[in-house]
């Protein structure tokens, strides 16, 4: 995510995570009337249809504003730009309705050009979210090409001295900053390596994950948001936050990214070190979750604190 982002992930992320959670949870025939999963899917479908009408073709959902939840559009280069299309592809898979495939394809039009974007690690968020499921459902070679080109772009941000992909900034910057959110983008490298790309992409993802285990995760399983490295030596310079309450606090969305990211790495690699990381970060999360199951935006922020609903959705998806 861009360095200037402070607000919680808006409804687009919640929809994407909620539909993924529902997809993982459904294990039988269509849910009966009154089932909470069925109700959730109906709500997601209603909101996706409404949002499709709220934004013109070629516009992407950034965040909502005001009591009415009016969408503020963003560009294709924004880290949230692929979430609506990804949610629609999930709905297409869940419902079997071909109209959702058509809607999803329209929603992701304009994103393919981001495959050449080497200026951000968020190419993983932007492209993997919609295109990986789109390719799995349609087997269209064009979707595969977009993903492979995007993985190649993300790979240019990897530095072997640090052992990670750069989150913010460019080569030549005085510091090499890596945010815990970046764990989510590694899935694009893993996907690319499994679908014809070089094995080096998988090795980059694994090494980044191990670096995050070493430097982002504290002994108690909580996480730092930002780790800064010396780009010449790879040594840790500082550990900070940009979106949490304090450098030593636990920003709940960052903790959720870690749960989800390490779970994905374990699923892809079966490396027990990532399973341990997923368990440690999840155990810390569960130990601090308040009654009612809705996390605060930062577990160490003074109470009463705003809720971190997006963090809850991301963690639930990782735990599923």
The closest alpha carbon to 13, from 319, 308, 320, belongs to 308
Between the alpha carbon of residue 153 and those of residues 30, 157, 226, the distances in Å are 40, 7, 22
Helix (H) or strand (E) holding 238: strand 236-240
Distance CA 229, CA 24 (A): 37
- 181 is annotated as an active-site residue: yes
Catalytic residue chosen out of the listed positions 122, 159, 215, 298: 122
Helix (H, G, I), strand (E, B) or coil at 272: helix
Distance CA 311, CA 129 (A): 17
Catalytic residue chosen out of the listed positions 47, 181, 215, 298: 181
Residue 199: exposed, middle, or buried by beta-carbon count in 10 A (0-12, 13-18, 19+)?
exposed
Prior bond of 304 cis (ω within 30°): yes
- 283 is annotated as an active-site residue: no
Helix (H) or strand (E) holding 145: helix 141-155
Residues taking part in catalysis: 122, 181
């Amino acid at each position: 995510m861009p360095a200037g982002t402070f607000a919680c992930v808006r409804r687009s992320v919640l929809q994407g995570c909620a539909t993924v959670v529902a997809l993982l949870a459904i294990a039988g025939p269509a849910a009966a009337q009154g089932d909470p999963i069925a109700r959730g899917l109906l709500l997601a479908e209603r909101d996706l249809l409404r949002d499709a009408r709220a934004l013109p073709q070629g516009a992407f959902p950034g965040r909502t504003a005001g009591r009415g939840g009016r969408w503020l559009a963003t560009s294709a280069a924004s880290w949230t730009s692929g979430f609506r299309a990804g949610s629609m592809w999930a709905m297409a898979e869940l419902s079997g309705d071909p109209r959702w495939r058509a809607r999803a394809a329209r929603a992701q039009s304009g994103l393919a050009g981001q495959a050449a974007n080497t200026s951000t690690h968020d190419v993983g968020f932007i492209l993997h979210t919609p295109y990986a499921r789109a390719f799995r459902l349609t087997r269209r070679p064009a979707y595969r090409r977009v993903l492979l080109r995007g993985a190649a772009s993300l790979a240019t941000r990897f530095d072997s001295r640090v052992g990670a992909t750069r989150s913010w900034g460019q080569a030549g910057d005085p510091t090499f900053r890596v945010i815990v959110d970046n764990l989510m983008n590694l899935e694009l490298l893993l996907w690319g390596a499994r679908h014809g790309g070089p094995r080096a992409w998988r090795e980059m993802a694994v090494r980044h994950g191990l670096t995050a285990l070493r430097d982002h995760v504290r002994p108690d399983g909580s996480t730092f948001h930002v780790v800064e490295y010396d780009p010449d030596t790879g040594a840790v310079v500082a550990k900070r936050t940009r979106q949490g309450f304090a450098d030593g606090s636990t920003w709940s969305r960052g903790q959720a990214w870690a749960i989800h990211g390490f779970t994905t790495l374990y699923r892809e690699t079966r490396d027990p070190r990532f399973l341990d990381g997923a368990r440690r970060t999840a155990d810390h999360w569960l130990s601090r979750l308040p009654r009612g199951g809705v996390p605060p935006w930062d577990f160490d922020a003074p109470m009463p604190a705003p809720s971190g609903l997006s963090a809850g959705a991301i963690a639930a998806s990782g735990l599923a």
